Amino acid sequence: MSKLVFAINYKAYETAFNETALEIARAASRASDRYAGVRIVLVVPASTVSRVREIYDDVYVEHADPVGLGPYTGYIPADALKYLGVKGVLVNHSEHKLPYRDVDRVVSSSRSQGLESMVCADTPGEAAGLAYLRPTYIAIEPPELIGTGVSVSKARPEVITEGVKAVKAVADIPVLAGAGITYREDVIRAVELGAEGILLASAVMKAKDPSAAVDMFSEALSSARR
Amino acid sequence: MSKLVFAINYKAYETAFNETALEIARAASRASDRYAGVRIVLVVPASTVSRVREIYDDVYVEHADPVGLGPYTGYIPADALKYLGVKGVLVNHSEHKLPYRDVDRVVSSSRSQGLESMVCADTPGEAAGLAYLRPTYIAIEPPELIGTGVSVSKARPEVITEGVKAVKAVADIPVLAGAGITYREDVIRAVELGAEGILLASAVMKAKDPSAAVDMFSEALSSARR
Amino acid sequence: MSKLVFAINYKAYETAFNETALEIARAASRASDRYAGVRIVLVVPASTVSRVREIYDDVYVEHADPVGLGPYTGYIPADALKYLGVKGVLVNHSEHKLPYRDVDRVVSSSRSQGLESMVCADTPGEAAGLAYLRPTYIAIEPPELIGTGVSVSKARPEVITEGVKAVKAVADIPVLAGAGITYREDVIRAVELGAEGILLASAVMKAKDPSAAVDMFSEALSSARR
Amino acid sequence: MSKLVFAINYKAYETAFNETALEIARAASRASDRYAGVRIVLVVPASTVSRVREIYDDVYVEHADPVGLGPYTGYIPADALKYLGVKGVLVNHSEHKLPYRDVDRVVSSSRSQGLESMVCADTPGEAAGLAYLRPTYIAIEPPELIGTGVSVSKARPEVITEGVKAVKAVADIPVLAGAGITYREDVIRAVELGAEGILLASAVMKAKDPSAAVDMFSEALSSARR
C-alpha cells in the first residue's frame, strides 16, 4: 500500500522565507524517518527551494506558470521545473487559480520532465475534471474553510467522500483532503473518509511550535486506519 | 559621479536556470573588478537567487507580487524581498506588466525594507508617471524592439532622449535604456543620448559565449563618455 | 425529442456590431420558422443585445463576470443577466477562459435568475468537470481548430464522442460541438457522433452571405439524423 | 470657457440596469437644459448604452478592452466603440485597472475613431503619466475614498491641487475630481481646488431620489466659481 501523504504548503507566510522554513524542513526530515508509512512533501516558494533542498529533498514548488523556457521575465516556467531540483509542482491552489488548460499545461510539462504534480480542487466536480489530466495527486479543499481552523473532515465530510468517488470514477489517483485541518482527529477522520493524505498550511506555518506540529500530524497519519 | 549600470535580465531562458546562470555570475564578478566605473546588476528568477548569490552579490529578483506576507500560495510577496537576499527588485517589465498601483506597492515595499527597485517603462510617458514613485532606476524599453537585435539607440534614439527628459522633469532618477542592445556601439550611443546604464537580456543569455558578452558590454559602458 | 441547437457566436467581429448583426438576427428568425426541429441561439456582445432583441428573442450574451450587482465599473455581473433581456449566457469560451469557480459562479447565478447557460470546454476532461455545474448546454471545441475551417467532426471526431460520453456519465446535458465547422457535412457528422447541436462563429460572421449561411446550417441540423 | 463636467458612473449597481438607469438619463436631459454651463456625461455599462441613448445622447461606455475587431468572445474591443453610439469611453477606473500600454491602446483607438476618452488615476503621479496619452479628460480618485461618502475635496484636497498641477505640466487636459463626493459643498470645493468637473457614482446611483441628486450636483457645478 502506498504511503499516506502529508503535504505542507508553506504559502507566503513569513515562516516560508525565514529560518522557520528550515526548521520545518529539519522536522520533516526527522518525522520522515520516524513514521515510515507517511510521505511528507514540503511545498515551498520558488525562492525557498534551494535552501530547503539542502536539508530535505521531498520538495515541491508552490506554483509554475504555463509557459516554456524563454523571454518570460518574472515567471517560473513549467518547463523549468527540472532545473529547480524539485520532485514536483503544486498548481491551481485556491489562492492561485488557473483556467483548466493552464493546469493541463503545467501537469503535462511536469510529467514530461519526469516530475510529479499535485492539483487542487474546490469541489468534487472540479476534481473530477482535473482527474482527466492524470496528476500525481488531487487535493480537495473547500475554499471557505481554508485557514479557519474548522476542518473539512468535520464541517464538510461529504466533500471528501464525494471527491474521492468522483476522482476514482475517472482514474486511480490519490485524493488528499485539505482546509482547516488543525487537530489530530481531523486527520484520522479524513483518512477514514477516504483521503490518502492531507494538505495543510497554517496549522504548521503559523504554529507556536511548527516542529511539534509536523510531528503530530505525521503521527496522526501514521496511526490512521484506511 | 555614480556608476553606469549594466543590468542583465536573465528572464526565463534556459540559461537562467542551468549552469550558465552561474557562469554569468562569475563573469559579472570578474568584470565588476575590472571595470570600476560600472555597476553590474544580475536580475534573476526567484528560484535562481540563492545559487547566484553564492557567487555574486549584486542581485535583483525579476519580479515581486503586490501582496504582503501571508496566505498567497505561489506568489513572491513584495514584503518578502528582504528574505531573498537581493539588493532590489525589477518590476513592470514589458513581459510582466502591472497596473500603476501595483508597481507603486512593490516599489514602496522594497524601499521600506531598505532595498532598491528598477521599474520598466515602454515610453517616456509611462516613465514620467513612474518617476513619481521614486524607484532607484527607470529602464525604458520600446517593446517592439525587445529581443530583435535592433537597438533602441539606433532605431528609436528619441525614446532615450525624451525619456530622460521626462523623468528628470519629475525627479533625478537614473534612466537605463534597453531593447535590442547587441553591439558595443549601441551601448556607447545610449550613454551619449543620456542613458546612465543599459538593461539587456538576450545579448547575454542567448550568446554563444555569455561570459565574453558580459565583458564586452562592461567594457563598452566603461568607455562610454557622458 | 428536444431540438438540435444551432448557436451562433457573434464574437467581436465587425459584423457583431454593425448592420450585419441585425441581418443575421432576421435570418435566424426566418430559419427558426422554417426548421421546426432546430433551436437557433444568437450569442452576442453585451452592447448588441438590445438591438438584436428587437428582431429575435432567443439571445444569449457572450460572457458575464463572476460578480454581483455593485461597484464593478465596466463589468457585466452574472447577477445582472436578468436585466439584459437574454435567455442565457455563454461562459468559459476558448477566448475568455475562467477558473472553474468563476464558471460555477456564473452558471449558478444564471440558474437562480431562471436563465440558461452554455459553457465551453476544450476537452472531454474539462467538459466532465463542468457537467457537475449542471449548465444548460456544454459546447466542446478543440481550441487549435477554432477559426480554421477544419472541423472538429472531421479532424478530431473522438473529441465529440469522448466528450459526449464523459458528460453523460455525469449528467444528461446536451453537448454541442464546435471549432472549424464550415460545411453542411461537418454538421451532419457532428450529430452522427452524438452532438446535439453546434456552436460556430466565423462560418456565419465572416461569410460573404451570412443569411444564406444561417439557412444552410439550420437546414443541415434539420436533416441530421440522430 | 469650456463647460464643467459632471460625469455619472453607473458602475454595475442594480440601478445601472433597471428602470432607474433611464430615470437618471431623463434627469440628465432636464438638467442639461437647465444648467447651460455644465456638461453631464453618463458613463454606462455596455449593455445599457442602447436604451440610455434613446433618452440622452452624451453617453460614454464604462470600459473597453485593448483589442481590435475579431475573435474576442465577450470583450468590448476599443475598435468597436464607434458602433456603440457613444461619445467616448471611460478606462482605467479604480475598479478596472489596466497596465499603461492597455490604457494607451484604448485612448488611441477612441481618438482614431473620433471619440473621446476619460482616464482615471489614483494619484497625481499616475495622472501625470496618463497625460502623455492625451485623453480628453483625466479623473483623479483616491481609491480609499471611493464609495465612502467622505469626499476627496475635504479629506485629500492636495490630491486635486497636485493632480491638476502634475497634469497641466504635461498638457492642457481638464482634470476631474472624484471619490466620496456627496454634498453640494464637495463639488464647490473641488472646483475651487482646480477641478474642471467631477466623477461620481454612489451619490446618484444609490440615492433615494437619483433625479434630485442629478439636479443638485448639476446646480452645484453651475454655481461653482473657477
pLDDT, tens only, A121-147: 999 999 999 999 999 999 999 998 888
Residue D179 has pLDDT above 80, yes or no: yes
- Chain C interface includes A168 (CB < 8 A): no
Strand C197-200 and strand D175-178: pairing? unpaired
Q: Rounded to an integer, what is the distance from CA C198 to the centroid of its chain? A: 7
Q: Which of B126, B131, B133 sits opposite D100 (nearest CB)?
A: B126
Q: Which of B50, B49, B51 is nearest to B63 (CA)?
A: B49
- pLDDT at residue number A157: 92
- Cross-chain Cβ contact B166/D132 below 8 Å: yes
Q: How confident is the model at residue C60 (pLDDT cuts 50, 70, 90)?
A: very high
pLDDT tens-digit map of A170-223:
999 999 999 889 999 999 999 999 999 999 999 999 999 999 999 999 999 999
ipTM over 0.85: yes
Residue A114 or D142, more confident: A114
CB atoms within 10 A of CB C111: 16
- pLDDT attached to residue A1: 63
In contact, B62 and B9? CB cutoff 8 Å = yes
Nearest CB to D129; choose among B97, B102, B128: B128
Q: CA–CA separation, D96 vs C145, rounded Å?
A: 32
Do C and B make contact via 3 or more CB pairs under 8 A? The reply is: no
- Residue A192's contacts (CB-CB under 8 Å, 6 or more residues apart) are A224, A225
DSSP conformational letter for A222: H
DSSP string, D9-51: E-TB-GGGTSHHHHHHHHHHHHHHHH-TTEEEEEEE-TTTHHH
pLDDT band, very low/low/confident/very high, at C2 (cuts 50, 70, 90): confident
Higher pLDDT, A155 or D214: D214
Question: Quick one: pLDDT at residue A108?
Answer: 98
Angstrom CA distances, B226 to B128, B157, B186, B188, C182, stand at: 22, 16, 14, 9, 63
Divide the 226 residues of chain B into consecutive groups of 10 and give the mean pLDDT of each group.
92 97 98 96 97 97 98 97 97 97 98 98 98 98 86 90 97 94 93 96 96 96 87
**Measured between beta carbons, which residues in chain B are less than 8 angstroms from residue D92?**
99
The pLDDT tens digits for C140-191 are 999 988 888 888 888 899 999 999 999 999 999 999 999 889 999 999 999 9
Identify the band that residue D145 occupies on the pLDDT scale cut at 50, 70 and 90: confident
- Test mutation, A63, A94, A132, chain C, max C CBs within 10 A: A132
| pLDDT number for residue C219 | 95
E strands of B111-172, at which residues? 116-121, 137-140
Quick one: which of C186, C80, C92 has its CA closest to C137?
A: C92
Q: Is the pLDDT of residue C71 over 90?
A: yes
Asked if the model's pLDDT at residue A152 lies above 70, the reply is yes
Instruction: Give residue B157's identity as a one-letter amino acid code.
Output: P
**Model confidence pLDDT, tens digit, residues D67-77:** 999 999 999 99
The secondary structure of B31-91, three-state, reads HHHHCCCEEEEEEECCCCHHHHHCCCCCEEECCCECCCCECCCCCCEHHHHHHHCCCEEEE
CB neighbours of residue A112 within 10 Å: 11
Predicted TM-score (pTM) of the model is 0.95
Pairwise CA distance, residues D124 & D164, whole Å = 8
Cell numbers found for residue A144: 471557505
Inter-chain CB proximity C101 and A99 less than 8 Å? no
What are chain B's domains? Answer: 4-223 (3.20.20.70)
Among D58, D59, D55, smallest CA distance to D20 is for D55
Residue D48: C-alpha distances to residues B56, B63, C66, C75 (Å): 58, 39, 19, 12
Report the residue from B74, B75, B96 with minimal CB separation from A73.
B96
Residues A98, A69: contact at Cβ < 8 Å?
A: no
Per-residue pLDDT at B2: 85
Distance CA D96, CA B108 (A): 22
Closest residue in C to D79 (Cα) is C14
Residue D196's pLDDT band, with cuts at 50, 70 and 90, is very high
pLDDT reported for residue B125: 98
Which pLDDT score is estimated for D201?
95
Q: What is the pLDDT of residue D1?
A: 62
Task: Pick the residue from chain A with its C-alpha nearest to C96.
Answer: A99
pLDDT at B1: 62
Mean pLDDT of chain A: 95
Residue A55, Cβ density class (10 Å: 0-12 exposed, 13-18 middle, ≥19 buried): middle
CA atoms of D186 and D182, how far apart (whole Å): 7
Phi, psi torsion values for C30, nearest 5 degrees: -65, -45
Contact B143, B160 (CB under 8 A): no
pLDDT (0 to 100) of residue A148: 86
Chain A interface includes B13 (CB < 8 A): yes
Residue A151 pLDDT level (bands cut at 50, 70, 90): confident
The pLDDT value recorded for residue D19 is: 96
Give the best residue of A49, A73, A97 to mutate against chain B (max B CB count within 10 A): A73
Chain C, nearest residue to A97 by Cα: C99
Asked if B125 and D126 come within 8 Å (Cβ–Cβ), the reply is no
Kindly identify which residue of chain A lies nearest to residue B91, measuring between CA atoms.
A74
Q: Are strands A88-91 and D175-178 parallel, antiparallel or unpaired?
A: unpaired
Percent of chain B residues topping a pLDDT of 90: 90
Contact D123 B104 (CB under 8 A): yes
**pLDDT above 80 for C1:** no
